[in-house]
Structure 1
Amino acid sequence: MSTAKAASKKRKRDASPEARFSLSVSEPGKTGPLVVSYPVIQPPDSTAFKCYSRKRSKTSKKDDEDEDLLVVGETNSVEFISNEDECKKVANAGCRYLFAVRNTRTGTISILPAAKTPHIFSHTVKALKSIPPSEAPSKLQYLEAKTALGESFGTKKQKANIRAQERNKIDVNAMEGVMKYVMDSIDKGAGGLLTEEASKEASDKNRLIPPFDTTATEPGDIYPLHDIIPEAEWKALSVSAFDAAQGDRERIAMLPFRKSTWVNDHLKALAGASGKTKKKNLKILLYISAMLAFRQATFTKSLDKEKLYERLEAVPNVVVDGLLSRFAEIPRGSSSYTSTSATKTSLLTHIFALCLKLDEFASNTATIAHDLSMAVTEVNQLFKSLGCKISKLGERERARRGLSDASADDKRAVLTAPVEFPKPRLRKKKN
């Protein structure tokens, strides 16, 4: 008997019609089924809901018809209404459902033509509607409540921080009577401050470089020659002995400082020249050599004037006196000259300014650094303080200065007009 029943049931399933899909036609004026979500409270199954349609604009589409609906329902104690903002968030997230109804008799599955967006409900308790909402606490009230909690339940460290903040707190009401005097004192103190132009002028004067002209349109006019070599010293220099010398070795032997590759190479290059330019460049080279010899003498603790005269016998005594007056100091309570870090830096920048004039304002810093036994980066930094930029020369610039292609990779300190000094670096604030 049980076998016969099983067979009959099997025959009935086999006899059921096959499923067929069809697209149903929505009737105008009818809403159809909706998808809703209850985030917090689930209403009873007997709760009745109604749909209300908002007034549609002319530009709205038919697809937005469900989004214009407002679904409302209520029980004896709670009201439910669809939340417009939450519904829009769900719709923008792409959450949609497609409805389908299956007719078990015919096997037809009818699919609704449009997907539905869920309606997210919010609820209101009827007994609480008459109670006005409490205002949000102010910042002062929040801090007072936080302090009270910290004093009651905080750790020792938190309580110590609370007491420290209270000690540092400023009583604004107590300041009302003295604010006028405070502002007057600030205005009085600000009266002695420098303007932007005066501050820039004072900063320029304190630079450890030769006097300069910021309005010069040619590199040769930025650092005037006689602001580096005073006219009295310039006139006292004599280079006639170099013309009478028989060779490069004899000419190099006449220099106060003979171990500079840069000076010796330039002296050899002037051997075949003639005229006023040669005499001028010879004087500059002689003065640079004297400055290098003077720098070597500053490595000692004190400078003996008589020994300097002997050491720099290739130049007149007036040059030695000038170097001592500009690049050395006499400490208080002493009678001998000494050199400081500021005077040493100033001496180097004066030397470099003269080097630029002989190098057509593009000096090879690596050669100069080797002569001075200094790091190339340190020498580059001093050239930058003169307003130079460290870069490689192009093919046209090398050809104009008579340089070979082998020097294409050499970086040089290039001075251009108008001069631009490096801006001070701003330090990053530490967190």
Structure 2
Amino acid sequence: MSTAKSASKKRKREQSPEAQFELAEPTTKKVGPLLISYPALQAPASTSFQCYTRKKAKRVTDNESEEDLLVVGETPTVEFVSNEEESRRAAESGCRYLLAVRNKQTCKISILPNPQSPHILTHTVKALKSIPPSAAPSKLQYLEAKTALGETFGTKKQKANIRAQERNKIDVGAMEGVMGYVMDSIEKGAGNLMTEEERKEAADKNRLIPPFSSTASDPAEIYALHGIISEAEWKALSISPFEAAQTPKERTALLPYRKSAWINNHLESLTEGTSKTKKKNLKILLYISAMLAFRQATFQKSLDKGKLYERLAAVPTLVVDSLLSRFTEVARGTSSYQPTSATKTSLLTHAFALCLKVDNYATNTTVIAHDLSMPVAEVNQLFRSLGCKISILGEKERARLGISSGSANEKRAVLTAPVEFPKPRLRKK
């Protein structure tokens, strides 16, 4: 038989009809196919499942019973039961599916009208059902087991930590008899603690600033003038040479410290007129100049009193003696004066308090920092310790102080009443 003849006698494959989709009619007589999900162990394909519902009085429709269906399957070793809580979560998540059934004879695919959510199955091993579940270990048992593991398999560092923790353990049973004595000692110790007012008063005394009034309602009354410059020093200061000088250069030559642009600018603006305010500010400028010259002399480890008198010849010796007594310390067993970090800070804060009085309580800290060769941030911090706030003045404030618009963006230390000191910063835990 030829190849062509054999090919003609071959049985031709029947063409399958095209698939047709249709929407099934809703029915209430049968539950229909269900969708299940295996989160862990999957049942064999031959496993049969049954549906059960809870007994309720007068069920209206089977649609309500589908929400309470219990899907159960069983193999020789494992039981599968739908988890109601997990199935409810899956239904509430909004994920639903449309199921379709295919008829092999007619090749029609019927889409079920009701969307369904999956039933999440859990499994139980039959051999383990008779064994009661073990109780969860207590915290003490957990720590004991953890310690045993650490001592057996831990590193040297872990073993050392375990021994340190055991040494730091407190025997509560041994403390029962002495708790009364412990509480009594705590109460006695608490009786010696400072109150909030006493603590605030002690903190105010330890501030490296001039004497101040915390209740003053006017910035001029916060730091009293004679709390910084004594009345005897104030009377001893003489400004007649400044009034007799003819040129700014002659007036600057009368100062103990001549390299301060802040003092020189204010000195030039105060020479005109004879009002009491200008004479008062002139004396304050002379005293500030003496303080800055004294500060320059404190850069040495010890001060020679005779040389200091010569250096501050522009002010009375009473002023020099006052600066030595307030802003230096005498070493034990010697008669030499030595500055400390605390006395240097106190000297600057006293001088800055006088600067605020001359500047009507709004001082340009940038100029002062340049005069002292100090960072502006450090000078600002000292002004904050006096209760000032570092800010840019508004238009009204500049007009009141007579400051030009060209200095509008310059930050100034502003003192307001009542005085508020910066709160100590809390360290991060």
Relative to structure 1, the CA distance from residue 56 to residue 238 in structure 2 (aligned partners, 3 Å threshold; closer, same or farther) is farther
Are 2:366 and 2:376, in contact at CA under 8 Å, matched by a contact in 1?
yes
Aligned to 2:333: 333
Aligned to 2:134: 134
Question: Which deviates more from structure 2 when the two are superposed, residues 275-284 or residues 18-27?
Answer: 18-27
Are 1:211 and 1:223, in contact at CA under 8 Å, matched by a contact in 2?
yes
CA distance in 2: counterparts of 1:155 and 1:319, whole angstroms: 70
CA distance in 2: counterparts of 1:350 and 1:136, whole angstroms: 69
Relative to structure 1, the CA distance from residue 75 to residue 294 in structure 2 (aligned partners, 3 Å threshold; closer, same or farther) is closer
Q: After superposition, what is the alpha-carbon deviation per residue over 1:44-100, rounded to whole angstroms, capped at 9, x for unaligned? A: 736451321575999x99987633212234466654321112213333455433221
1:271 and 2:278 matched: no
Question: Which deviates more from structure 2 when the two are superposed, residues 297-306 or residues 172-181?
Answer: 297-306
CA distance in 2: counterparts of 1:118 and 1:406, whole angstroms: 76
Matches within 5 A, 1:1-400: 3-4=7-8, 8-9=12-13, 12-13=14-15, 16-38=16-38, 39-40=40-41, 42=43, 45=46, 47-53=48-54, 66-74=66-74, 78-126=78-126, 128-400=128-400
Are 2:298 and 2:339, in contact at CA under 8 Å, matched by a contact in 1?
yes
CA distance in 1: counterparts of 2:157 and 2:342, whole angstroms: 50
| 3-state SS of 2:88 partner | helix
Relative to structure 1, the CA distance from residue 122 to residue 274 in structure 2 (aligned partners, 3 Å threshold; closer, same or farther) is same
Relative to structure 1, the CA distance from residue 69 to residue 293 in structure 2 (aligned partners, 3 Å threshold; closer, same or farther) is same
Count of residues paired in the alignment: 424
Are 1:392 and 1:411, in contact at CA under 8 Å, matched by a contact in 2?
yes
Question: Which deviates more from structure 2 when the two are superposed, residues 218-227 or residues 174-183?
Answer: 174-183
Relative to structure 1, the CA distance from residue 97 to residue 194 in structure 2 (aligned partners, 3 Å threshold; closer, same or farther) is same
CA distance in 2: counterparts of 1:79 and 1:403, whole angstroms: 90
- Deviation of 1:252 (Å): 1.9
> Structure 2: which 5+ residue stretches go unaligned?
none
1:420 and 2:420 matched: yes
CA distance in 2: counterparts of 1:208 and 1:286, whole angstroms: 22
Relative to structure 1, the CA distance from residue 277 to residue 5 in structure 2 (aligned partners, 3 Å threshold; closer, same or farther) is farther
CA distance in 2: counterparts of 1:213 and 1:140, whole angstroms: 59
| Counterpart residue identity of residue 296, structure 1 | Q
Relative to structure 1, the CA distance from residue 35 to residue 354 in structure 2 (aligned partners, 3 Å threshold; closer, same or farther) is same
Q: After superposition, what is the alpha-carbon deviation per residue over 1:220-250, rounded to whole angstroms, capped at 9, x for unaligned? A: 1111111111112112222233222222222
| 3-state SS of 2:287 partner | helix
Relative to structure 1, the CA distance from residue 54 to residue 223 in structure 2 (aligned partners, 3 Å threshold; closer, same or farther) is farther
- Deviation of 1:193 (Å): 1.6
Question: Which deviates more from structure 2 when the two are superposed, residues 359-368 or residues 16-25?
Answer: 16-25
Are 2:28 and 2:62, in contact at CA under 8 Å, matched by a contact in 1?
no
- Deviation of 1:359 (Å): 0.8
Are 1:49 and 1:74, in contact at CA under 8 Å, matched by a contact in 2?
no
- Deviation of 1:219 (Å): 1.5
Question: Which deviates more from structure 2 when the two are superposed, residues 185-194 or residues 40-49?
Answer: 40-49
| Counterpart residue identity of residue 40, structure 1 | L
| Counterpart residue identity of residue 309, structure 2 | Y
Are 1:356 and 1:362, in contact at CA under 8 Å, matched by a contact in 2?
yes
Are 1:290 and 1:315, in contact at CA under 8 Å, matched by a contact in 2?
yes
Relative to structure 1, the CA distance from residue 163 to residue 109 in structure 2 (aligned partners, 3 Å threshold; closer, same or farther) is same
Are 2:100 and 2:111, in contact at CA under 8 Å, matched by a contact in 1?
yes
Relative to structure 1, the CA distance from residue 61 to residue 356 in structure 2 (aligned partners, 3 Å threshold; closer, same or farther) is farther
Relative to structure 1, the CA distance from residue 41 to residue 24 in structure 2 (aligned partners, 3 Å threshold; closer, same or farther) is closer
Question: Which deviates more from structure 2 when the two are superposed, residues 122-131 or residues 139-148?
Answer: 122-131
- Deviation of 1:210 (Å): 0.6
Question: Which deviates more from structure 2 when the two are superposed, residues 252-261 or residues 358-367?
Answer: 252-261
Relative to structure 1, the CA distance from residue 406 to residue 171 in structure 2 (aligned partners, 3 Å threshold; closer, same or farther) is same
Q: After superposition, what is the alpha-carbon deviation per residue over 1:153-178, rounded to whole angstroms, capped at 9, x for unaligned? A: 44444444433332332222122222
Question: Which deviates more from structure 2 when the two are superposed, residues 315-324 or residues 93-102?
Answer: 93-102
Q: After superposition, what is the alpha-carbon deviation per residue over 1:324-370, rounded to whole angstroms, capped at 9, x for unaligned? A: 22112222111132221111111110000000111111111121112
| 3-state SS of 1:314 partner | coil
Relative to structure 1, the CA distance from residue 203 to residue 6 in structure 2 (aligned partners, 3 Å threshold; closer, same or farther) is farther
TM-score (norm 1): 0.89
RMSD: 2.8
CA distance in 2: counterparts of 1:167 and 1:91, whole angstroms: 55
CA distance in 2: counterparts of 1:256 and 1:48, whole angstroms: 106
Relative to structure 1, the CA distance from residue 75 to residue 385 in structure 2 (aligned partners, 3 Å threshold; closer, same or farther) is same
| 3-state SS of 1:233 partner | helix
Are 2:49 and 2:71, in contact at CA under 8 Å, matched by a contact in 1?
no
TM-score (norm 2): 0.89
CA distance in 2: counterparts of 1:56 and 1:92, whole angstroms: 26
Question: Which deviates more from structure 2 when the two are superposed, residues 350-359 or residues 248-257?
Answer: 248-257
Relative to structure 1, the CA distance from residue 158 to residue 266 in structure 2 (aligned partners, 3 Å threshold; closer, same or farther) is closer
Aligned to 1:401: 401
Question: Which deviates more from structure 2 when the two are superposed, residues 185-194 or residues 96-105?
Answer: 96-105
CA distance in 1: counterparts of 2:232 and 2:61, whole angstroms: 95
